[in-house]
Amino acid sequence: METFTKEEIRDIIVSVIALIIIFSWKPFPRFGLNLDLIPYFIVIILVAFLLHEMAHKWMARKFNMAAHYKMWPQGILFGLIFMILGLKFVAPGAVVVYPYRFARWGFRRPYPEIASGEMGLIALAGPVTNLFSALLFSLFDSFLFNQLKFINAWLAFFNLLPVPPLDGSKVLIWKPWIWGMCIAVALILVFI
């Protein structure tokens, strides 16, 4: 199995650039990119977004499933439109876990054999990575660390919303108490 396809690398690069623009945008009344913040948001997006998506991919691979990041062009478009209004809508794409896993000799086993616990853990991996990062970065006090904490907490909260296809819908079906605990921590971190 390939680790990353060319299309996946392209989709990740486009998504990262879109997120940097979205988070660096100055809302009304002074529209435009805040060029001073772009270097910070390059670091922040690379840490928060990439770790989130790679956690999903890593967990799927632990269960011997194929997983690739796919860009969602409509999500990027919505993000850019909401950005102009001063809102941060972040849904540039997702790691798609393919409905099969590879068995011993490389043949595919169908989706029904994949336990809901495995899908729950795959969905939980991204938000938990963001929550752990937000808690870690909250130990430090600077603009960069405060933004790293906030954006990691925001990505965890947003992805834990119980709306399909977001991670929260899968985690809630799998273990409601884990979902409740994680979204509570995310809310606390977002509003502190």
1 in any annotated domain? no
Report the pLDDT averaged over residues 168-188.
95
User: Is residue 22 a contact partner of residue 90, using CB atoms and an 8 Å limit?
Assistant: yes
106 in any annotated domain? yes
Helix (H, G, I), strand (E, B) or coil at 161: coil
pLDDT at position 35 over 90: no
Other Cβ atoms less than 10 A from the Cβ of 116: the count is 11
pLDDT at position 27 over 80: no
175 in any annotated domain? yes
171 in any annotated domain? yes
Q: State how far the Cα of 171 lies from the Cα of 91, in Å rounded to an integer.
A: 18
Q: State how far the Cα of 100 lies from the Cα of 29, in Å rounded to an integer.
A: 50
Choose between 144 and 1: higher pLDDT: 144
167 in any annotated domain? yes
79 in any annotated domain? yes
pLDDT at position 23 over 50: yes
Quote the pLDDT of residue 63.
84
DSSP-H helix ranges across 63-142? 73-84, 116-137
The domain tally of the chain equals: 1
What range does the domain containing 84 cover? 6-191
pLDDT category at 44 given cuts 50, 70, 90 is: very high
Q: What is the pLDDT of residues 85-103, one digit of tens each?
A: 888 888 899 999 876 655 5
pTM: 0.86
Percentage of residues of the chain with pLDDT beyond 90: 67
**11 Cβ partners below 8 Å, 6+ apart?**
69, 70, 71, 93
pLDDT category at 115 given cuts 50, 70, 90 is: low
Closest residue by Cα to residue 171 from 181, 187, 160: 160
Known catalytic residues are: 53
Quote the pLDDT of residue 1.
47
Closest residue by Cα to residue 72 from 171, 169, 165: 165
